[in-house]
Structure 1
Amino acid sequence: MLITYRIPTLADIKKVSEQIMLSYVSAYEGLMNYEFLSTLKADHWVPILQESIQNGDTCLIAEYDGNIIGSTVFGTAVVDGKTYAQWHAFYLLPQYIGIGVGHLFYQKIEEEMVRQKCIRCTLEVLSSNDRAIKFYISHGFKKSETFEVEENDMILLCDKMTKDFR
């Protein structure tokens, strides 16, 4: 399976948004409110992606056979001369989960973070998302705290996870 990785163009944003929507609904089915998930539209993430890119965040997509099968977004911040990554999103279409695609994509993501001189990555994940937590732990992330957020009329328990690159 030959998967390619690249930064999406503005023309790709609608397709990336649709891929995220399909992946998001699949990932959070049973973990989030069905009424919320069922209202998501294919273009839901278009303004979010546009704003993220305008803010200087890095977006990467994974493609197979001409189709976008995965995407990720992370931002960086420089504090006291050191660069840190804040990983906002990582989604694969459900049919590509469990066959190694995510691990290969993660390698590309970490390579890009390190290329941008990041020394640490922080992410947030639903505490009930066991599959994602196991994935992140398998790549060296450690849970640093648990917290609650209120989002879309839901109270969600989340874990903050970090990984040092050096």
Structure 2
Amino acid sequence: MRATSEDAHDIAQVHVLAWQAAYEGIVPAEHLAIQSVAKREAAWREAIATGTPEILVAKADDQLVGWIAFGPSRDKNAGSKAAEVWAIYVAPSHWSRGVGRLLWLHARERLAEQGYESVSVWVLAENTRAMKFYRAAGFVAEPTGQKEVMMAGKSLQELRYETALNG
């Protein structure tokens, strides 16, 4: 289901919890420790209000347990038919239960309806769990899709994965 402004706090909470769990040992601990639900809530509230990116949420027993944000590709030189998964996070308590896959399938359907032909996602090279998820969902690593990001003084590599939407 599409996110509403009432979901912003829960989206932010899942974002911080999943970020801290997924990136433990990858991102410097001091950077993980300063993640703020309040700051993320403000950003997600604004995104929900503007509609960019589009955000879908998954709930279990009336609790938000995951979400996916997607829209046009933010990559330079991306064509108008190229989309991007901007972020997808599932509460660690719900990992490996199909929540992420369900969110991806709904987002994929929405992107195809909107006329996109391909979709990409950037993944930290050390995040083997995420890479396994994307490969299972049909994404493949793009050979030239690499970039460096800095987090708390640590250089990290991101890899670009992509898949076609027509089929």
| TM-score normalized with structure 2 length | 0.86
8 Å CA contact 2:68, 2:87 repeated in 1:
yes
- The equivalent of 1:160 in structure 2 is 160
SS in 2 for 1:40: coil
- The equivalent of 2:24 in structure 1 is 29
Q: What RMSD in Å do the two structures reach over aligned CA positions?
A: 2.0
Q: Does 1:59 align with 2:55?
A: yes
- The equivalent of 1:3 in structure 2 is none
SS in 2 for 1:8: coil
Matches within 5 A, 1:10-49: 10-49=5-44
Q: How many angstroms apart in 1 are the aligned matches of 2:79 and 2:127?
A: 34
8 Å CA contact 2:3, 2:56 repeated in 1:
yes
- The equivalent of 1:102 in structure 2 is 100
8 Å CA contact 1:82, 1:119 repeated in 2:
no
Q: How many angstroms apart in 1 are the aligned matches of 2:53 and 2:18?
A: 20
State the identity as a percent. Answer: 26
Match of residue 86, structure 1, among 64, 84, 87 = 84
Q: Would the alpha carbon gap of residues 98 and 114 (structure 1) be closer, same or farther in structure 2, given more than 3 Å must change?
A: same
Q: How many angstroms apart in 2 are the aligned matches of 1:43 and 1:18?
A: 9
CA drift at 1:51:
4.0
Kindly provide the amino acid, as one letter, of the partner of residue 33 in structure 1. P
**Unpaired runs of at least 5, structure 1:** 1-5
Q: How many angstroms apart in 2 are the aligned matches of 1:115 and 1:134?
A: 26
Q: How many angstroms apart in 1 are the aligned matches of 2:98 and 2:152?
A: 32
SS in 2 for 1:147: strand
Kindly provide the amino acid, as one letter, of the partner of residue 87 in structure 1. V
**Unpaired runs of at least 5, structure 2:** none
CA drift at 1:23:
1.1
Instruction: Between 23-32 and 40-49, report the one with greater CA deviation.
Output: 40-49
Q: Does 1:69 align with 2:61?
A: no
Q: How many angstroms apart in 2 are the aligned matches of 1:110 and 1:98?
A: 19
Q: Would the alpha carbon gap of residues 47 and 134 (structure 1) be closer, same or farther in structure 2, given more than 3 Å must change?
A: same
| TM-score normalized with structure 1 length | 0.87
CA distances 1:12-69 after superposition (whole Å, capped 9, x unpaired)? 2112111111111111111111111011122231232234342632011100000000
8 Å CA contact 1:21, 1:44 repeated in 2:
no
| Structure 1 consecutive aligned stretches of length 4 or more whose deviation exceeds 4 Å | 79-82
